[in-house]
Amino acid sequence: MTMIGIIDYGMGNLYSVSKALERLGCPYMVSGDKEVLAQARGLILPGVGSFRDAMHSLNETGLADFIREAVQGGTPLLGICLGMQLLFDESEENGPTKGLGLLHGRVVRFPGVTKTGEPYKVPHMGWNRLRFHRPSPLLDGVEERHVYFVHSYYVIPGDEDVVLASSEYDVDVPAVVGRGCVFGTQFHPEKSGAVGMSILNNYVGIVTGRGNG
Protein backbone atom coordinates (compact mmCIF):
# COMPACT_ATOMS: atom_id res chain seq x y z
CA MET A 1 0.00 0.00 0.00
CA THR A 2 1.34 3.38 -1.01
CA MET A 3 1.93 5.68 1.93
CA ILE A 4 3.05 9.29 2.11
CA GLY A 5 5.32 10.44 4.91
CA ILE A 6 4.70 13.96 6.21
CA ILE A 7 8.01 15.19 7.59
CA ASP A 8 7.67 16.56 11.12
CA TYR A 9 10.58 18.83 11.99
CA GLY A 10 8.65 21.12 14.30
CA MET A 11 7.72 23.81 11.77
CA GLY A 12 5.02 22.39 9.55
CA ASN A 13 1.27 22.79 9.26
CA LEU A 14 0.83 19.09 9.91
CA TYR A 15 -2.85 19.04 10.80
CA SER A 16 -4.24 20.64 7.64
CA VAL A 17 -1.99 18.58 5.34
CA SER A 18 -2.96 15.40 7.18
CA LYS A 19 -6.66 16.22 6.92
CA ALA A 20 -6.32 16.89 3.19
CA LEU A 21 -4.73 13.46 2.64
CA GLU A 22 -7.49 11.89 4.71
CA ARG A 23 -10.09 13.50 2.44
CA LEU A 24 -8.30 11.99 -0.54
CA GLY A 25 -8.29 8.57 1.11
CA CYS A 26 -4.51 8.45 1.00
CA PRO A 27 -2.69 6.50 3.73
CA TYR A 28 -0.08 8.68 5.42
CA MET A 29 2.09 8.98 8.48
CA VAL A 30 3.54 11.96 10.32
CA SER A 31 7.03 11.47 11.71
CA GLY A 32 10.39 13.07 12.37
CA ASP A 33 12.07 9.65 12.53
CA LYS A 34 14.24 8.93 9.49
CA GLU A 35 13.77 5.16 9.76
CA VAL A 36 10.00 5.52 9.87
CA LEU A 37 9.92 8.02 7.00
CA ALA A 38 12.14 5.72 4.93
CA GLN A 39 9.19 3.33 4.72
CA ALA A 40 7.10 5.91 2.85
CA ARG A 41 6.79 5.83 -0.93
CA GLY A 42 6.51 9.61 -1.15
CA LEU A 43 7.31 12.55 1.13
CA ILE A 44 5.73 15.91 1.91
CA LEU A 45 7.82 18.70 3.45
CA PRO A 46 5.44 21.30 4.92
CA GLY A 47 6.68 24.52 6.47
CA VAL A 48 5.61 27.61 8.37
CA GLY A 49 8.05 30.16 9.81
CA SER A 50 11.70 31.06 9.31
CA PHE A 51 13.95 29.51 6.66
CA ARG A 52 16.97 29.69 8.98
CA ASP A 53 15.15 27.98 11.87
CA ALA A 54 13.77 25.32 9.54
CA MET A 55 17.18 24.44 8.09
CA HIS A 56 18.69 24.39 11.58
CA SER A 57 16.09 21.83 12.64
CA LEU A 58 16.50 19.74 9.49
CA ASN A 59 20.29 19.72 9.82
CA GLU A 60 20.31 19.00 13.56
CA THR A 61 17.97 16.03 13.20
CA GLY A 62 19.72 14.61 10.14
CA LEU A 63 16.52 15.03 8.14
CA ALA A 64 18.22 17.29 5.60
CA ASP A 65 20.60 14.52 4.54
CA PHE A 66 17.78 11.99 4.69
CA ILE A 67 15.67 14.10 2.29
CA ARG A 68 18.57 14.52 -0.13
CA GLU A 69 19.28 10.78 -0.11
CA ALA A 70 15.60 9.90 -0.54
CA VAL A 71 15.32 12.17 -3.59
CA GLN A 72 18.55 10.80 -5.02
CA GLY A 73 16.98 7.36 -4.69
CA GLY A 74 13.91 8.48 -6.66
CA THR A 75 11.43 9.07 -3.84
CA PRO A 76 8.93 11.80 -4.82
CA LEU A 77 9.02 14.91 -2.63
CA LEU A 78 6.51 17.76 -2.38
CA GLY A 79 7.48 20.95 -0.53
CA ILE A 80 4.67 23.26 0.61
CA CYS A 81 5.10 27.01 1.29
CA LEU A 82 8.32 27.34 3.33
CA GLY A 83 8.86 23.68 2.44
CA MET A 84 9.06 24.70 -1.23
CA GLN A 85 11.59 27.44 -0.46
CA LEU A 86 13.75 24.95 1.44
CA LEU A 87 14.19 22.95 -1.77
CA PHE A 88 16.41 25.72 -3.19
CA ASP A 89 20.07 26.67 -2.68
CA GLU A 90 19.76 29.50 -0.17
CA SER A 91 17.62 32.21 1.41
CA GLU A 92 18.41 35.75 2.49
CA GLU A 93 15.92 35.53 5.40
CA ASN A 94 17.67 36.45 8.67
CA GLY A 95 20.98 36.41 6.85
CA PRO A 96 22.20 34.03 4.13
CA THR A 97 21.25 30.41 4.89
CA LYS A 98 21.93 27.34 2.77
CA GLY A 99 18.89 25.29 1.78
CA LEU A 100 18.57 21.67 0.65
CA GLY A 101 20.00 22.51 -2.77
CA LEU A 102 17.66 20.16 -4.64
CA LEU A 103 16.71 22.96 -7.04
CA HIS A 104 18.83 25.97 -8.00
CA GLY A 105 17.76 29.42 -6.91
CA ARG A 106 17.60 32.00 -4.12
CA VAL A 107 14.81 33.00 -1.77
CA VAL A 108 14.42 36.78 -1.36
CA ARG A 109 11.98 39.12 0.36
CA PHE A 110 9.27 41.00 -1.48
CA PRO A 111 10.53 44.58 -1.92
CA GLY A 112 7.28 46.03 -0.55
CA VAL A 113 7.56 48.91 -3.01
CA THR A 114 6.60 48.86 -6.68
CA LYS A 115 8.90 50.07 -9.44
CA THR A 116 6.95 53.34 -9.41
CA GLY A 117 7.51 53.77 -5.67
CA GLU A 118 4.08 52.68 -4.46
CA PRO A 119 4.15 50.60 -1.25
CA TYR A 120 2.30 47.29 -1.07
CA LYS A 121 1.56 44.87 1.75
CA VAL A 122 4.07 42.27 2.85
CA PRO A 123 3.42 39.44 3.63
CA HIS A 124 1.54 38.41 0.53
CA MET A 125 -1.59 36.96 2.07
CA GLY A 126 -4.65 35.94 0.10
CA TRP A 127 -5.92 34.39 -3.11
CA ASN A 128 -4.05 34.83 -6.39
CA ARG A 129 -4.51 33.25 -9.79
CA LEU A 130 -2.17 30.62 -11.17
CA ARG A 131 -0.61 30.97 -14.62
CA PHE A 132 0.73 27.73 -16.11
CA HIS A 133 4.02 27.60 -18.02
CA ARG A 134 4.93 23.95 -18.51
CA PRO A 135 3.06 20.65 -18.47
CA SER A 136 3.54 18.44 -15.44
CA PRO A 137 1.72 15.44 -13.97
CA LEU A 138 1.31 17.60 -10.86
CA LEU A 139 -0.96 19.94 -12.85
CA ASP A 140 -2.88 17.42 -14.96
CA GLY A 141 -6.53 18.43 -15.16
CA VAL A 142 -5.98 21.50 -12.94
CA GLU A 143 -7.42 24.85 -14.02
CA GLU A 144 -5.70 28.23 -13.79
CA ARG A 145 -7.69 29.40 -10.80
CA HIS A 146 -6.99 31.17 -7.52
CA VAL A 147 -5.04 29.55 -4.69
CA TYR A 148 -4.16 30.68 -1.18
CA PHE A 149 -0.76 32.26 -0.39
CA VAL A 150 0.82 33.39 2.89
CA HIS A 151 4.48 34.41 2.53
CA SER A 152 6.92 37.31 2.75
CA TYR A 153 9.65 35.70 0.62
CA TYR A 154 9.66 34.25 -2.88
CA VAL A 155 12.03 32.26 -5.09
CA ILE A 156 14.22 33.65 -7.83
CA PRO A 157 15.02 30.43 -9.72
CA GLY A 158 18.42 29.73 -11.15
CA ASP A 159 16.71 27.93 -14.01
CA GLU A 160 13.32 29.12 -15.28
CA ASP A 161 12.55 25.61 -16.53
CA VAL A 162 11.73 24.49 -12.99
CA VAL A 163 8.81 26.96 -12.82
CA LEU A 164 5.66 25.04 -13.75
CA ALA A 165 3.25 27.81 -12.75
CA SER A 166 3.52 31.33 -11.43
CA SER A 167 1.36 34.02 -9.88
CA GLU A 168 1.74 37.78 -9.69
CA TYR A 169 2.20 39.90 -6.60
CA ASP A 170 3.94 42.97 -8.01
CA VAL A 171 6.65 40.52 -9.18
CA ASP A 172 6.32 37.13 -10.85
CA VAL A 173 6.15 34.57 -8.05
CA PRO A 174 7.04 30.94 -8.81
CA ALA A 175 3.93 29.20 -7.49
CA VAL A 176 4.56 25.61 -8.60
CA VAL A 177 8.02 24.20 -9.26
CA GLY A 178 9.24 20.80 -10.28
CA ARG A 179 12.09 18.79 -11.70
CA GLY A 180 12.39 15.02 -11.72
CA CYS A 181 10.76 13.69 -8.56
CA VAL A 182 11.00 17.04 -6.72
CA PHE A 183 7.95 19.32 -6.62
CA GLY A 184 6.90 22.38 -4.65
CA THR A 185 4.00 24.78 -4.19
CA GLN A 186 4.51 28.24 -2.72
CA PHE A 187 0.81 28.38 -1.85
CA HIS A 188 -1.03 26.04 0.52
CA PRO A 189 -2.83 23.43 -1.62
CA GLU A 190 -4.53 22.04 1.48
CA LYS A 191 -6.19 25.44 1.97
CA SER A 192 -6.88 26.20 -1.69
CA GLY A 193 -10.20 24.48 -2.27
CA ALA A 194 -10.82 22.21 -5.24
CA VAL A 195 -7.75 23.42 -7.16
CA GLY A 196 -5.42 22.64 -4.27
CA MET A 197 -7.01 19.26 -3.64
CA SER A 198 -6.59 18.40 -7.33
CA ILE A 199 -2.88 19.17 -7.09
CA LEU A 200 -2.52 17.07 -3.95
CA ASN A 201 -4.46 14.27 -5.61
CA ASN A 202 -2.10 14.45 -8.60
CA TYR A 203 0.87 14.19 -6.24
CA VAL A 204 -0.68 11.10 -4.66
CA GLY A 205 -1.04 9.75 -8.21
CA ILE A 206 2.65 10.41 -8.90
CA VAL A 207 3.59 8.50 -5.77
CA THR A 208 1.16 5.68 -6.53
CA GLY A 209 2.34 5.44 -10.11
CA ARG A 210 5.90 5.06 -8.95
CA GLY A 211 4.79 2.40 -6.46
CA ASN A 212 2.94 0.51 -9.17
CA GLY A 213 5.70 0.88 -11.73
CA 75 to chain centre: 15
- Listed residue (153, 28, 20) closest to 82, CA to CA: 153
User: Sheet of 163-169: strands edge to edge?
Assistant: 28-31, 4-7, 42-45, 77-80, 182-185, 171-179, 163-169, 131-132
C-alpha to C-alpha distance for 104 and 31, rounded to whole angstroms:
27
Q: List the catalytic residues.
A: 81, 188, 190
What residues pair up with 91 in beta bridges, in sequence order?
Answer: 97, 107
* 37 close to 4: Cβ distance less than 8 angstroms: no
Which residues lie closer than 8 Å to 189 by C-beta, 6 or more apart? 20, 80, 147, 195, 196, 197, 199, 200
- Listed residue (174, 179, 103, 97) closest to 138, CA to CA: 179
